[in-house]
Amino acid sequence: MRILVVNPNTTASMTDKIAAACMRVAAPGTEIVAVNPLDGPPSIEGYFDEVFAVPGLIAEMRKAPDMDAYVIACFDDTGLDAARCITDAPVIGIGEAAFHMASLVAGRFGVVTTLARSVPAIEHNLGKYGLATRCARVRASEVPVLELERPGSQAYHAISAEIARAIADDHAEAIVLGCAGMTDLADRLSSEHGLPVLDGVACAVKLTEGLVSLGARTSKLGGYASPRSKSFAGLFAPASP
């Protein structure tokens, strides 16, 4: 089984970290191919950055049309709906992956993400997925995405402090880490706080493996129907939609 994991930002160190996280949990027969676009924002922090990341994400998927499944490794699930239109293979966002997995081990989970500006997009996703009632609260640690890549960063402590508040004040029973760049922190945070801490990257790998094993395909009825054929120009324009 081959899974394409697309980090939709252009920061290669983050792609490497994501790839490592995927491989740690991948089943023996699973091949992980982790990529990122060459063009686009180096990190995705809010609605604006998302826009410029999605064409590159779609382009990466188009370059690898024979994959068994696709993972979008940005917690906003950037471009997820569009990505599902161009394939009937499973496509999973790491945000939704973590929300669904957390819902299976706890009655109510909290989310700890990077910047406050990213909170509304996450809340909208929770509402759209139907899981808003399972989420106690989305909290911002005010750690920027790329600070997670910096050696010597104090990010762990800021995130850990926010988890403590989520447990005490929001009665969170599990924690979802709200950024792909936090994938290497989950185990240590879980041990420290004594509750499940879920990283969406790892969750997404297991969910895509599961869906592929089941033979489940993305439905082509409704919103994920294959795009109608249209010719248009532009850097990211589809060669053959």
Choose between 156 and 224: whose C-beta lies nearer to a second copy.
224
List the interface residues with a second copy, window 148-187 (CB under 8 A): 167, 171-174, 187
- Which of helix, strand or coil describes residue 177? strand
Please answer whether residues 112 and 136 qualify as being in contact, where contact means their C-beta atoms are separated by less than 8 angstroms.
no
CA angle 30, 35, 39 (to 5 degrees): 165
Is there a contact between 68 and 1 (Cβ–Cβ < 8 Å)?
Answer: yes
Interface positions, 83-102, toward a second copy (CB under 8 A) = 84-86, 90, 92, 96, 100-101
Stretch in the footprint of a second copy (CB under 8 A) among 12-20, 151-159, 176-184, 189-197: 189-197
Residues 113-142 that bind a second copy (CB under 8 A): 116-121, 124, 127-134
In angstroms, the CA 170 to CA 105 distance is 17
Which residue, 34 or 43, has its beta carbon nearer to a second copy?
43
CB of 36 to a second copy, least distance (A): 12
CB nearer to a second copy: pick between 10 and 15: 10
Distance CA 75, CA 98 (A): 9
Given 16, 23, 33, 46, the residue binding a second copy (CB under 8 A): 46
Query: C-beta of 16: minimal distance to a second copy in Å?
Result: 19
Number of residues that bind a second copy (CB under 8 A): 97
Q: Does residue 43 belong to the site contacting a second copy (CB under 8 A)? A: yes
Residue 10 near residue 41 (C-beta atoms within 8 A): yes
Give the tokens for residue 129.
Answer: 């997925």
Map residues 197-236 to x or -, x wherever contact with a second copy holds by CB under 8 A: -x---xx--xx-xxx-xxxxxxxxxxxxx-xx-x-xxxxx
**What's the rounded Cα separation, in Å, for the pair 225 and 84?**
8
Please list every residue from 6 through 35 that binds a second copy, using CB under 8 A: 10, 25, 27-29
Angstrom distance (rounded) from CA 208 to CA 149: 26
3-state class (DSSP) for residue 34 = strand
Task: For the chain, state the CA radius of gyration.
Answer: 17
Q: How far is the CB of 129 from a second copy (least distance, A)?
A: 7
- Token pair for 240: 């053959």
Please report how close the Cβ of residue 153 comes to a second copy at its closest, in angstroms: 17
18 vs 211, beta carbon nearer a second copy: 211
